[in-house]
Structure 1
């Protein structure tokens, strides 16, 4: 992929960036600063903290529910229609129009179909889901940062190659100009050499802009000013300590460690707990209750009395929602369908992980093989250029052959730099897919 981009678009590097107060920095340092600055990671971290509080809240529901209420009001005289509502009423006078009371009540669940326990398990699963989402965000940002860092390294390497090629073209152009003045070469040779040099300078201008854009990406990741000039100091050659695993081992790690897989597992667990919660709604609820009332006037027990009274009641209470048997039929069916949907989604993620691991693994192996071949290609292209450069100035070859040899050498150098960067990028893809980045 990187090689294709190199062919289609001239890559870019900033010729002045590295010389103007640049800050040497490693990929590990960029990762550390990014993790401290990333707003998305901070958001996900806060979601985990919210989940922890939600678990505590669910557990607190196991404590008795205690309530208190009080009231005060004024009663009107009570009309009594002894002769029907179409006739005048007789009013019962009240000596005291005041009415007031206070109630303290409590309820403690003994059994509710394990609904409280299920709710706690659901909050734990939600918290774990938030935690794995945070892990996936961290892995994704790690990979994005690595891609930007490697891209900047590639641009800087290409800048060096293009600048070196420009210097060679300028020296060659001076020699051709001398030969043209002496009448040894044609005007067309001079024009071709000038056009080749102009193309390389245009490519270098593009490199300057692209390198600045790559630096801005990294600066934004780290939360520093966009203008900050960076100098990657990690070697472009892949010298990381790494354990060479087989494809099957990488797949096994992906299935067992990938945050994406763990996210889907938690979604399946939540769907199962949702069904369990619906089943709990169809079971009876048993609990202890208590009421302690202070009221005025005493109109609850006969004979009534214009006096305040206290009344306490304790006991055991059982309730059962019969209508839940038929009200929740479709809700139960939807929950079971959702569970099946989550299981299929989990299998789909596993399939995708296998594809991603296989693609990254094959590209990684391919890059490692390419590097050896490309190093040989550069030697051959350099020797070919040396021969044609010598024969051209001895009038034994054409300018087009020399310029083609120059382009082939530069392309071979491009391809080698691209393969080295691509090798690292695909290795980081393997780490991300296996939850180890």
Structure 2
């Protein structure tokens, strides 16, 4: 007998229900999430989630903790100590190691001590102040690092966002072109059936259509690649369907280009170079402090047992304390520290030159971006005129071709000019926005 016939109908129904439920639940889990983001929302999400920004923030927390620790050195240094001992018998020897005698140590076999020592730095040649200044500058550098990392990630998000927009517009352009190619091929086939054109015209039109379909496929793959890059920057699942809200961002060009003359004084790299110079100056102060003595106020109070202050020693406890000062000076610093100070000064000269070089590089970069920005604005106006002219030209040549007054080569060339003029407009609009946001990044505004 078939063993499956022994299974009751209710059990079969239950198993099928469980299978359908699990399958439905699994399908629900696999459904990708869809989020709609504006350009600013994408930037804000990256600032919240991106790991590189999170690492920079943790570095700042570390720098702030180190600053607090260094500042705490200005407080008195206090040490509490206690000890307890049980002594063995004292072994006395006569005649070398012969004739030994064991006696309990006077006045007691037990010893105990408890005391507190405190010291307070009065003067150290500015060493502590230089250390605090160094730590404060390191904290500033960590803050600049956060801003720089945040600006860098924001710029990458913006560039990927704009690239997806550009490719999406190109996809629409390819789709429009494919529709036009299909209509043209249909009309050419009609002419071919009527014997008005040769087979080569049909083949040329088919090849043109295939090339356009191929280009669209490549473009769609590029969209997916930049989509994946954007999800990584936003730290969201790769399968998330991100819909870009600001599809008309390129139309805001007139507003975006109206900004003040860019300056490199707030650039992240320049601020970092400037703070590194200040840090080196603080290091020189710390190195010079080794030429000066160190003076401390010291104090202690302790309880002791037994009393070893008097002779013979007494089996009693006593307490005693003191207050005074301590001065120390390293004589070797007179011939060793000179080299260290000289090396730190040479390094400072190097950092000042680097600071000037960074500023010059930024000025050149901003100047180049301004030229490109102005040039791209002019290209946009030219591209708009070209679209109008090439559209008129396409219509004229198309009419001539279907009236047997022009060759297919002329029609395809006119069509290609029209397509290229629209493509150049999209490229110029995207480039203008890219240059604009690069200027913002180089001036420390994103």
Output the TM-score relative to the length of structure 2: 0.86
Question: What is the rounded CA distance, in whole Å, between the counterparts of 1:91 and 1:126 in structure 2?
Answer: 67
* Alignment of structure 1 residues 303-318 onto 2, 5 Å: 303-318=312-327
Measure the CA separation in 2 of the matches of 1:224 and 1:28: 16
Deviation, structure 1 residue 381: 1.5
Pick aligned residue for 1:157 from 169, 174, 178: 169
Report which structure shows greater RCO (CA 8 Å, sep ≥6).
Answer: 1
2:302 aligns with 293
The equivalent residue for 1:71 is 83
Could you state the TM-score of these two structures normalised by the residue count of structure 1?
0.88
Q: Find the partner of 1:136 among 135, 141, 148.
A: 148
Q: Is contact 2:166–2:430 with CA below 8 Å preserved after alignment? A: yes
- Equivalent residue number for residue 221 of structure 1: 233
1:113 aligns with 2:125: yes
For the pair 1:94 / 2:111, whether they are aligned, the reply is no
| Residues 185-213 of structure 1 deviation map (CA, whole Å, 9 limit, x = unaligned) | 11111111100000110111112111122
The reply on whether 1:401 has 2:415 as its aligned counterpart is no
Partner Cα separation in structure 2 for residue 275 and residue 206 of structure 1? 59
Give unmatched runs, 5+ long, in structure 2: 1-31
Q: 1:57 to 1:22 in 2, by over 3 A?
A: closer
Q: Distance in 2 between matches of 1:128 and 1:382?
A: 57
Alignment CA distance shift 1:22-1:402 (3 Å): farther
Deviation at residue 303 of structure 1 after TM alignment: 4.4
Instruction: Confirm or deny that 1:183 pairs with 2:201.
Output: no
Is it true that 1:237 corresponds to 2:251 in the alignment?
A: yes
Q: Whole-Å Cα distance in 2 between the matches of residues 111 and 403 of structure 1?
A: 87
Q: For the residues of structure 2 that align with 1:65 and 1:182, how far apart are their CA atoms?
A: 105
Cα contact 1:41–1:138 (8 A) shared by 2:
yes
Larger Rg: 2
Is 2:91–2:103's contact at 8 Å kept on the other side of the alignment? no
Cα distance in 1 for partners of 2:84, 2:424 equals 88
The Cα shift of 1:373 comes to: 0.8
Q: CA RMSD in A?
A: 2.2
Which of 70, 83, 96 is 1:58 aligned to? 70
CA contact under 8 A between 1:121 and 1:273: conserved in structure 2?
yes
Give the superposition deviation at 1:359. Answer: 1.8
Structure 1 counterpart SS, 2:202: helix
| Distance across 2 between alignment mates of 1:291 and 1:399 | 105
Instruction: State the aligned residue count.
Output: 411
Indicate conservation of the 8 Å contact 1:238/1:423, yes or no: no
**Alignment of structure 1 residues 236-385 onto 2, 5 Å:** 236-239=250-253, 241-242=255-256, 244=258, 249-250=261-262, 253-254=263-264, 256-299=265-308, 302-385=311-394
